[in-house]
Chain A
Amino acid sequence: MERLRHDDPPRLGPYLTLARLDADSTDGGALPERRYLARTADGERTVLLCAPLPDAAAPAAWAMEAELASRLSVPRFLRPASQGSEAGLPWYAVPYTPVLPLPAALAAHGGPLPEDLVRRLGAALAAGLAAAHARGQAHAGVSPAAVLLGAAGPLLGCFGAVRSAAPGGRPGLDPGCLAPELRSVGRPEPLGDVFALGAVLAYAASGHTVPEQSELPPGLRRLLASCLARDPADRPSAPQVLHALSTTGPARTPAPAPAPAPAPAATPAATVLDEQAPPPLPGRVVAALAAQSAELLASELPAAPPARPAPQKVH
């Protein structure tokens, strides 16, 4: 939760903005949109409010992707609950629950996340992507900052960021998440999501979307390498990623991971992850979630909702 800046809108639709969700973009934090914590003027509803970047080439395309996301019902995909536009700037809102963008979670934890948690996040996200892919729908916006980590596990925002970027324009995602084929052709396909998921999990486990192999936990190296294969044909499908993550425990010794093809059968020692269950979060991540929740509970609306952008202090 960050302070508003002078160029942030004080109000979007019925919502008064209270704070930014994201810190300045850092490694892995590049973001195709702006996200705010906001509240209705009567104080009744607090929301996560998203809007395209001020210099977005095609705000209308962004709004169309939001519209599509609101109609999809895919587990783990952030689902806009209301949408609108204010002075040509579209927005959508989701009822607030405490969440940390993945880069903020790493910052709070003080470094890469434990392998077990990375696996659980990966399994949950892969399950969501698999459900979308089964309907022929690519997410096309998977990046570390698109992953919102909460008590109930991860949510995936930034739906359609690659599609809504103007042809040739930059989607605003961390470049490490952009599959090579997207740089040339453009039409996002499900296996592009798998590449991006590999980059996200690499980020969670190492702090970089394009890590050295040695930076990754041995048990994840082969799976992530296969996700990040240059040729889409060499990547596992989302269900295969899910299967690989949920049937092997974290390897303490460098053990061959069953990738890219799924393991034919679970080994006796394998644990089956329930990707629905809330993952156990590290202490400092919980502390950051609780701090965000507490700060927002205690926050008050700006004294007089300004009708026009009022000058605000920078920092």
Chain B
Amino acid sequence: MPPRSPLAPLTHTDPERLGEHRLLARLGSGGMGTVYLARSAAGRVVALKTVHARIAADASFRSRFRLEADAARVIGDRYGARVFGADPLAGTPWLATEYVIGPQLDEAVRLGGPLPEPAVRELGADLARALGQLHRSEVVHRDLKPSNILITATGPKVIDFGIARALGDERLTRVGSAAGTPAFMSPEQAGGLEHTPAGDVFALAGVLVFAASGHAPFGGGQAADLLYRVRYAEPDLTGVPEGLAPLLARCLDKDPARRPPTAELARWLAPSGDGAFADGLPGPVLADIARRAAAVWEQPPPRLPAPAADPAGPASAEPRPGISRRRLLTLTAAGFTATAAAAGGAVWAWPDGKRSAAAAPQDPPAPLWIFGGRNPGRAGSPVRVGPHLVAAAGVGTSVIDPATGRSLADPHIASSGRLTTDGKVLYGLRTWTTGVKDLAVLAFPQEYDGDRPPVVTLAGFDAAEDLNDLLCAAGGTAVLYAKSASDGRWFLVAASLASGRELWRRPAPAPTGLDSAAVCVKPVKGGLLSCLRTGPSDTLALSLHDPVSGAERWQRSLPVPGAVPYQLATDENHVYLGADTLQALRLSDGAPAWSFGQGRDMGPKPYGQRRYGVPAVRDGVVYANEGARGLVAVDALTGAERWSEIPLKDFRAAPDTTPAVGARYVYAMDMTGLRAVDLRTHRPAWRYPTPATTLTPDPDNTRLYAREESRMLAFPME
């Protein structure tokens, strides 16, 4: 049975060309973007990785994308795909690499069974050298696994450093995908701690166990069970050749310090003979490589026509899946991240990493502390629970002392929902395990150890559904986004935190693919304000619910492209949204109160998408990033302009991070870093280079938490 061609047809929404490349076929696609087979003007055929323009509007993705290109260059042609070019700043950023001829390692094992020992040795020696090359450049891979490794006739090539995996992996399934496949994670990574070069060695050994035996060293299954085994169980080396098992067992030591370094590993693994790598590959894998070498030259399948119902012609706007927390989580967990600072070097901590606050008058303050732990996503902003700061870290959760940044506890809280608190108690969904039927909310009143009985138990919902979410727990009511077990429909469900019973439910849009429709629910004056995404478009539906009956007092839908407002800006009069204009809706009836920015010249639209970023409101003033220009401050009551930022010369906008407002400064992100804009002079006072993706003011307004992908920084907030 011949496997299908790797070339899939272009769809009617794919552009004819990108940059100087003409698109020929799709090689793979996912929520983040698409990988194309494309041809340059000079006739070179490449694999062209792209990110959806909408996702590319997020500064952190652009930086990741740049990192991806840099990582591919660091790893080089021998152990990676040759890089021909990249434009991370294009409307649709792209990365052109060699089209690598060969299956992914997991596919190779599926086709031809476990690899014979000489092939495993050569695979391991090559991968150890590849990692060594990365590590010497202060780069840690963090996501080595079979699907990131292509088996070519001359040896393995490491192709994915984060973005690309989410891009190309069609097999990404919802079950267990919240943190990517953790089967090859290191124990320290599974614990949310820093993953060092020794963590890559652990992952490498796991990959080799898989290649030699066909199974991962800690098995598969539910992420939570798997993570437990990664951290505490002995690896299963059944089927691994005797000559390899002791060495791999050393690499799989729970203590990173006891694992061998990559150079030693490469020496030990290097096969004694001088056979070619291809000689050791099973026949079906060789046949697959030969087939791929030819298939890429076949006439690509014709472009798919637009469906009759869709009037959009070719090259219309791309579909715009929103960025759900889970998708971000997937991406981040898969991520090759900007951890160089933690790893000790700055070569690529951040593209503009030279302290480029040059144009700002003051030096930025030193961070109060830095907490090392991966940020699983945007909605994972830290929350204050009593005296503690609680933050998602990796696939777990950490309780942090907000004064020192020290981790106090590492509670077993479901990582499957967002962190929800009323300020005193932390709430979370119970992790689903086999056999559990009911959806349950757990409460942690500032103590995080031991098993807790649920405070809310809801029957009739699909407890195994990954996108169930606890949106809000306040005023004695918990609001969930959950899927009915009987008919698969989705609801907003409210339950009493006192009685544990369901109060009401209202129909809600179903998720679009991996994207939850739930944006947020927030208690406001007059009820509970819900914000849901409807359909695959950029439409947000806002509703004000009666907290007792759930009945909608009003409803309003409006187009809001770009990042969704996980933290809705509200005050006692209005809810504020940034889109083509900055607008205020009355909380009393949902009617527009004012709209700001129509016809204003704000420079080139950033990334052709949105004009106004997600706003923040404080003390009667709304602050938002405006076009390519910087911050604008608008009177919350009237919508009249208060002031506009006088930006730095080298300012490049990043509209999707919500600003944080202090008494003296308003803090905002741009492509270079965090800047503090003086409320009196309207000029940036300082800038700190960081690729942070969320800014969270502490409720007492003395500290500002900036979350990067692999760490969180605390700054004094003025």
Contact = CB atoms under 8 A, between A and B. Distances in A.
Nearest to A302: B42
B307 interface: no
A108 to B, nearest CB: 10
B109 to A, nearest CB: 17
Contacts of A283: 153, 276-281, 286
Contact of A299 (B44, B101, B153): B44
A43 B278 CA distance: 31
B263 to A, nearest CB: 27
A266 to B, nearest CB: 25
B134 interface: no
Interface string A264-295: 00000000000000101111101101111110
Interface residues of B, number: 35
A74 interface: no
Interface string B306-336: 0000000000000000000000000000000
A141 to B, nearest CB: 24
A274 B45 CA distance: 34
Contact of A293 (B39, B287, B296): B296
Contacts of A95: 297
- The CB with the most chain B CB atoms within 10 A, among A282, A291, A292, A297, is that of A297
A298 B276 contact: no
Contacts of B41: 43
A300 interface: yes
Interface in B628-649: none
Which of B82, B281, B291, B293 is most buried by chain A, counting CB atoms within 10 A of its CB? Answer: B293
B671 to A, nearest CB: 32
Given A284-B279, A286-B289, A290-B152, A299 B43 contact: yes
Interface string B269-287: 0000000111111010011
B45 A290 contact: no
Contacts of A39: 43
Given A43-B39, A297-B45, A298-B44, A284 B278 contact: yes
B102 interface: yes
A281 B44 contact: no
Contacts of B291: 151, 278
B280 to A, nearest CB: 7
A199 B582 CA distance: 81
A116 B135 CA distance: 46
B281 A96 contact: no
Given A284-B276, A284-B278, A286-B153, A98 B294 contact: yes
A283 B279 CA distance: 5
A301 interface: yes
Contacts of A293: 101, 293-294, 296-297
A150 interface: yes
B415 to A, nearest CB: 41
A248 interface: no
A291 B43 contact: no
B98 A294 contact: yes
Given A287-B276, A289-B290, A290-B152, A97 B297 contact: yes
A46 B43 contact: yes
Contacts of A291: 153-154
A294 B297 contact: no
Interface string B135-156: 0000000000000000011100
Given A150-B294, A283-B276, A287-B276, A43 B40 contact: yes
B448 interface: no
B290 to A, nearest CB: 4
A89 interface: no
A298 B82 contact: yes
B99 interface: yes
A152 interface: yes
B278 to A, nearest CB: 3
Contact of A281 (B42, B46, B152, B286): B286
Contacts of B98: 294, 297-298
Interface in B663-703: none
Contacts of B294: 97-98, 150-152, 289, 293
Interface in A156-206: none
A105 to B, nearest CB: 12
B276 A294 contact: no
Contacts of B152: 290
A287 B154 CA distance: 7
Contacts of A280: 283, 286-287
Given A95-B297, A281-B286, A287 B99 contact: no
Contacts of B278: 283-284, 286-287
Question: Which of the listed residues B43, B281, B294 has the most CB atoms from chain A within 10 Å of its own CB?
Answer: B43
Given A290-B153, A294-B99, A300 B296 contact: no
Closest 4 CB pairs of A and B: A43-B43, A283-B278, A287-B153, A300-B42
29 contacts: A43-B40, A43-B41, A43-B42, A98-B293, A98-B294, A98-B297, A151-B291, A280-B287, A282-B279, A283-B279, A283-B281, A284-B278, A286-B278, A286-B286, A286-B287, A286-B290, A287-B278, A289-B294, A290-B289, A290-B292, A290-B293, A293-B296, A294-B293, A297-B45, A297-B99, A298-B45, A298-B98, A299-B43, A301-B42
Interface of B: 39-46, 82, 84, 98-102, 152-154, 276-281, 283, 286-287, 289-294, 296-297
Interface of A: 39, 42-44, 46, 95-98, 150-152, 278, 280-284, 286-287, 289-294, 297-301
